[in-house]
Amino acid sequence: MKRSLLAFGLAAGFVTHAQSQPAGDLVRPLTIVAQPQAASPQEYQAAEMIAEAWKSLGLDVRIRPLPGQQFTQVVWYERQRWDATTWQMVGRPERSDPDELTYNLFVSANAANGYDFVGYNNPEYDRLAQAQREELDLPKRQALVREAQTLINRDQPYAFLVHPKNLVAFNKTIWDETTMVTQAGIGIRNFWTWTTMKPKGAQKDVILNSTAPPTNLSPFNIPGAQGSWATELVWDRLMRIGPDGLPRPWAAEAVTRPTPTTVEVTLRAGMKWHDGKPVTIEDAVFSLEAPGYGDKSPMYRPFVGNIAKVEATGPMSLRITLKRPDAAFLVSSLSKLNLAPKHIWAPIFEDLKTKPETAESIMEKLPIGSGPYKFVSVKLTEQVVLEANTEHWAKPNANRWIMRITPNVESTMGAMKSGEMNFLTDYTGDPELLARMAKSSPDIKLSESLDIGFRFIGYNERRPPFNDVAFRRALSATVDREAIATDAWGGAAVPANSWISPALAYWAAPDIVKQVPGGTVEAARKMLKDAGYVLVDGKLHYPAGVKETTAVFQ
């Protein structure tokens, strides 16, 4: 028989009414902001499981689902407003080096409008993140990255949940399965597959799905997972992460590092923008400089923050001078930054000087890149259509790349079975249903891989009580990651305790990865008691003297 919260409180040593230990104010109702269940069923179910666990601590916890654009607007741009949120960091190729997430997610300089959107601030972590970035000796850098994981495990700015498995499927009667490319930590849904996959017959259009509309598509916005599939194809980069997880020249013919703080780049000859104008060395210099233009490109600014100077050294060559050594620069910057046409974007940046908007909010009617695909039409809530750029040196074998926004899982499955869609790229349903579909439809081939991304609950440390590390640790201790991986993700995920996936075995700290907290409500109650929190009539109060001054999320 289940014990009551009162009995649990006594067992954990909580004071259950104000008779012997003074209590502060009642902790206000807490809200977990999440995407709607239809848009992200796994994350929504995880939020429900987490809310129930937190309620066992005497908290009033609510889930507030917000549709895609509003969800992003509130979490990303209204950072003082929310309490906690479901979120994900997708497995982009350039995240195969740990620097991008290690530095950007938790360094306090990125809290105002960058990737440290939870407002984590720890000078000790800032030092470690900068040190690993500058350390060129690989074993020493590994030790620093693992030390950083230990510190984040202690401070719990997030409740890490799972590293998902990428479940995708394609019609093997339409696409030659031997031309699919597996990328480390990504799987076959990647840039190299889109550019090399070969059709077997007359059908030459890649028709894929997205469960959510992509955000703004521009060279200075870093969209979510679905948007990034398109932007990687439209905008070239000086380097790209190869299938082996290592950087290789792309729009650059050659990249060398003559000194620890100097990078020499030779631009590939003959490139053109999709409007027919040539790609010049001035475009390349502009693309490296523009993200550092004030606060007008906050998403990309961290990736150019270490650049002291960019200068053209010839008609097709440039030199990048760094402020300090940067071990991951070829991966996290040159393989990350998009080449943008100066003739289009320089006037936009100039116009933004006197406006509150940032470049990441600007989208051309039909965006112009130089990549192997170009935009034909964009309706963010319905469909994105790209066609092969026949003048590109890596011309795709497919004619068009069509991403249809289909939030409903059943509709997606039906489209795959009927042949209306031939590449299932974004599956959020029951993994068993997908396996059954493949078994009953021999034309459909499944592929599974562990992602280098992760899902988590972010705590807004700007808002008490989330600014209290003891409170965050207690919340995280209640979260049963094993149950979430099994129930919410249907087994298509592994429990997480770090931003570094087990797929990146060299960088993942073994003691952190293996010591996944989960479901220890009794331990969480003790943490709160030791920190002075008091349970009064089954409701959690702050330590004595602490007032509740934060508004409830509306």
pLDDT tens string 230-248: 999 999 999 999 998 889 9
Higher pLDDT: 407 or 265? It is 265
Q: Which tokens is 98 given?
A: 């740990």
The tens digit of pLDDT for each residue in 167-187 reads: 999 999 999 999 999 998 899
pLDDT at 513: 64
Least confident of 113-122, 307-316, 512-521: 512-521
Q: What is the pLDDT of residue 445?
A: 96
The pLDDT, as a whole number, for residue 184 is 82
Of 37, 189, 167, the residue nearest 431 (C-alpha): 167
Q: What is the mean pLDDT of residues 199-219?
A: 94
Q: What whole-number distance in Å separates Cα of residue 159 and Cα of residue 147?
A: 18
Give the CA-trace dihedral at 122, 128, 130, 132, to 10 degrees: -150
Rounded to whole angstroms, what are the CA distances from 234 to 228, 230, 360, 396?
10, 6, 16, 12
Q: Which letter does DSSP use for residue 108 in this model?
A: G
List the single range of 204-218, 227-241, 509-523, 528-542 with lowest mean pLDDT. 509-523
Res. 8 pLDDT band, cuts 50 70 90? very low
Q: Over 60: is that where the pLDDT of 14 sits? A: no
Does residue 337 carry a pLDDT above 70?
Answer: yes
Please give the pLDDT value at position 68.
82
**Does residue 4 have a pLDDT over 60?**
no
Q: What number is the average pLDDT over the span 317-333?
A: 95
The average confidence (pLDDT) of the chain is 92
- Domain covering 173-442 assigned CATH 1.10.8.60 in the classification: no
Look at residue 18 and tell me whether its pLDDT is greater than 50. no
183: phi then psi, degrees, rounded to nearest 5: -110, 135
List the beta strands (DSSP E) in 297-352.
Answer: 307-314, 317-322
Which residues contact residue 390 at a Cβ distance below 8 angstroms, ignoring those fewer than 6 apart? none
Residue 225 and residue 233: Cα distance in Å, rounded? 13
Instruction: Please state which architecture CATH assigns to domain 5-164+452-541.
Output: Roll (3.10)
The pTM score is 0.81
Is 482 a residue whose pLDDT tops 60? yes
The one-letter code for the residue type at 328 is A
Alpha helices in 270-407 (DSSP H): 281-289, 329-332, 342-352
Where do the domains of the chain lie? 5-164+452-541, 173-442
Q: Please tell me the predicted confidence (pLDDT) of residue 45.
A: 96
pLDDT for 224: 84
Omega cis (within 30) before 465: yes
Q: How many residues does the chain have?
A: 554
List of E strands, 232-365: 239-241, 247-249, 252-259, 262-267, 307-314, 317-322
Beta bridge partners of 51: none
Q: What residue spans of 175-220 are helical by DSSP H?
A: 191-196
**Which pLDDT score is estimated for 203?**
96
CA 16 to chain centre: 41
Task: Please report where in the chains the tokens 């192997």 appear, as a residue.
Answer: 372
- pLDDT band at residue 39 under the 50/70/90 scheme: confident
